[in-house]
Chain A
Amino acid sequence: MSTDNERIIHLADLRRIQSSLASLDSTITHLDGNIAHVSGQVQNVNAEVQNTKDRLEQLIQEFKDFVLKDQLDKNLQLAETRLVKVRQELETKFGHYDEVRRRTTGILKAVDASLVKRQTIENATEEQMLAAPGYWLAPALIALASWLNDKRELADKAMMEALRLDDEKTSLFFALVTRRGGRFKASREWLDRYFGQQDPHELEREIVVLIDGFTNGIFGPDARTKTSKQIEAWIAELSEKAGFVEEQHAQWKAALEVMPVAAKPDEYKFLRQYSPTWPQLDSSLHGAKLHEVVYSHISGIFGQEVTPAQSIAYAVDGMLDKLVTNFDDEELPLRRDERLLSLIVEEQGNKDAAQSRFGVEKTLEQRVSLTQLLTNFAMHPDVSQASLSTQKLSIALSREWIRQAHDDMTMENRAAVPGTIGLAIDSWSGQTMDGANEAELLQSLEAHMDQRMREDASRVKLKPMHHIALGASIFIGIVGVAALMPAFLLFTVAGALFWYLSKRSIDKKRKIIEEGYVELKESCVQILRAALADTVEWRLEYAEEDAKASLVSEFLDGISAEQYAYSHYDKARAVMRA
C-alpha cells in the first residue's frame, strides 16, 4: 500500500516538477528574449540620447547665434536711427555756421573775379556777424572784407574780436589768407603767432591744416623752412621726455594691431575643431598676416600720386574750407557721437569692436600730442582730415617708431607661435610639431581605441547569477542522477540553456561594441590625418606670411621726411645744404 502510495506521490510530484520545469524553461526563453530586446532597446536609447545631445548642442549653438544676431541687428538699427538724429542735431545747432563758412571762400573768389561790389561784400559779412555773434569766423570775415576795402580801423577791430573768440584758428586763417594774397611777410607773422600758442604735448586738431599747407607746398620758402624746423623741434622736445620712445612704440603697435585682416572661417576647420592649441595658432597667424596688411597700407599710400591744385588760390581755398568746417570745438561732442555711431554701423552692430576702433583712433580728441596726431594722419586720414601728402609726411616722420613697433610686434608674434600643436579627438589626445609624426600618432590613436574597446568589451560579461544558475542546475542534475531521478536533469538542461543564451547575447553585444569601435577608430583616424594636413599647411602659411615682415622694414628704410614736403608753388630755387 505504502509503495503504491509512494509511486502515486512520486508520479504526482514528478508531473508537477515537469510542468514547473517546462514553465521555467519558457520563462527563461522569454527572459532571454526580453534581455536581448532590452539590450537592443538600451542601445537604441543610447544612440538616441547621443543624437538628442548632439541636436541639443546644435540647438543651443543656434540659439546663441540667434540671440547674438538679434542683439547685433538691434544695435545696428538703434545706431542708424541715432546717427540720423545726431546729424539732424548737428544741422539744427550748427547749420547756420555753414552760411558763414560758405562765404569765406566766396568772398575771396568774388574779389578775384571782380564780379561783386565791395559794398555788397561788406554788408553780407556784417549780416553774418548778426546771425552768428559768438562764432570766430564772423568777425574774421568782417576783418577780411574791411581789409579788401582798405578800412583799416574796422579791420583791426573785427580782427581783435576774432582773436578774442579763437586766437589760434584766427591766426591760422589769416596766415593762409595772406599767403593766398602773396603777402609773405604777413603770412609768416601770423604763422609765428600761431606757433607761439602751440604746445607739442597738446596740439589743437586744426594743426592738420598747417601741416597740410606745409606738405602741399602752400607756404613760401621761409614759412616752409620754419614749419619744418618747428616740427623737428617739437619732435626733439617730445623725445626728451622719459618713456617717450616706449610710448610711441606702444601707440604704433596698438594702431598696427587693429588693422583689419581678412578672415577665412572655413580654413583649417579640423585644427579649429580638434586642437586645443587653435586659439594660439589663430592669433599667431593673424599676427603674421598683419605684415602684408601693414605693408600694403604704407606702400599703398606712397604709391599714390599727389595731384597738386591748379594754383595756390585753389589750394588755399581747400585748406580754408577744411579749417572752417571741421574743427569747431562746440561741435566736438556731437561729432564724437557721430563717429562712434558710424563705427557701430560699419561693424554691423558690434559695439565692442566699434568702441575698440574708436578708442584706438583718438582722432576726435580735443587736444592731442604731435605724435598722436602723426599716428592719426597716417592711420585714419579720413577722420583726421589729413591729405595724402600729410599722410606721407606723417609716416616718414614716424618711420623709426613704426619700424620699432613693427619689429616688437613681429618678435612677440614669433615668440608666441606654439612649438607643439595639441590634438584632441574623442577621448584621445596627442601632439605634433609640424604634422610629420603622422605614423606615430596614428599608432597611438589606434592603440588608444583598441584599449578602450577592450575595456568596454570586458565590462560586458556574464554576471555571477549566470554562473550560479549553471552551477546549481549541474548540482541538481548530479543529485537527480544520484537519487535516480532523471527528471532532475531537466534542471541541468534549463540551467545550461539559460547560461548559453546569456552568453550568446553577451557575445552579440561585444560584437556590436567592437563594430562601433572599428567605425569610431576609422573616423578618428580620418580626422587625425586631416588635422595633420591642416598642421602642415598652417606651418607653411605661417612661414610664408612671417617672411613678409622684412617687406615693411625695407620699405620704411627707403623713405625720408625731406622727400615729402612739396614746393610745387615756389618760383625760387631751393638751395640744398652742402
Chain B
Amino acid sequence: MSQDSGEKLVKLTIDGREVQARSGDTVLEVARQMGIEIPALCYHPVLGGAGACRVCMVEIVAWGRRRMVASCVYPAREGLEVYTNTQKVLTARRAVISMLLAKAPAAKAVQELAERYGVTEPAYEPKDPQGRCILCGQCVRTCNELIKAGAVYFTYRGQERKVGTPYDAESAQCIGCGACQNLCPTGNIRIRDKAECRAVLTWNTDLAWQMCSRCGQRYLPARLVEHLRKSLPAGAELLEVCPRCRREGTAEDFARASVTAEQSSKL
C-alpha cells in the first residue's frame, strides 16, 4: 500500500449511492460533497479532522468486515461501502452527544445536535453548567499549525485535560489574532476589544494595541502586527498604518499619481 497521493480516483458507495472521489479525501468530505450530512465538531475544512469528538461515526464495510469508524479521518478507498444513518450509527451518535452535552451544556453547537438527534438528557450531571469546551483541539491546532504562535496547548490528561496557556497564566506567545475564536465550533473562546487592549479572556491574556502611525487610532494588537511583520517581510511598512488609512493612503497615492501623470502629459 502506498501513501495516498490525493490524485488517484476511487469509487465507493455512501448510503447506497456510488461516488467517485480522490483517495486523499476523507469519507466525511466525500459525503458532504454529495449533500449527505454527517455531524462533526472536531473537523474543519482548513485543519481536517482530528478523530476526537466521535460524533461523525459511520458504519463501513471494507475487506468484508463491517465496523464503525470516524468518518472525519477515514480515507475514501476503492470499493468501500459507507452507511451514515443506520440504527447502530444513530445509537452511537446519541451516546456521544449525550456525553458532550454533559461536558459542554452551554455550547450551542452541542445543544443543536442534541435537538436534532433527540437527545434530551446529558450523560451525567454537568459539572460546569456554563461549560462550552468539548476538547476538540481545534484551537490548539489553529494556534500551533496555522498561526504558529504556540500560545495554547492541551494540559493534563484524561478527565483533567484542558486547553490553555501554561499555568493558565497570561501568555507571552498569544498574538491576539482571534483565529482560535473563529475556528472554535462551540463558541468557547471569548475575546473583548477594550479601549486599552484586546482582552483574550479565555487565555487570560491582554494585548496592547498598535496605534496607526497616520491617524493615531488603535487597529490591531501590537503583537499581531509584529507577528505579521515577521511572516510577511515584504509589505512590512504597510503594517504601520491601520486598514482605513491604508485604503485612504492608497487612494491618495493613486490620486497623486494620476495628477502627476496628467501634469507630465501636459508637458
Q: Do A and B interact with each other, yes or no?
A: no
- A interface list, Cβ under 8 A from B: none
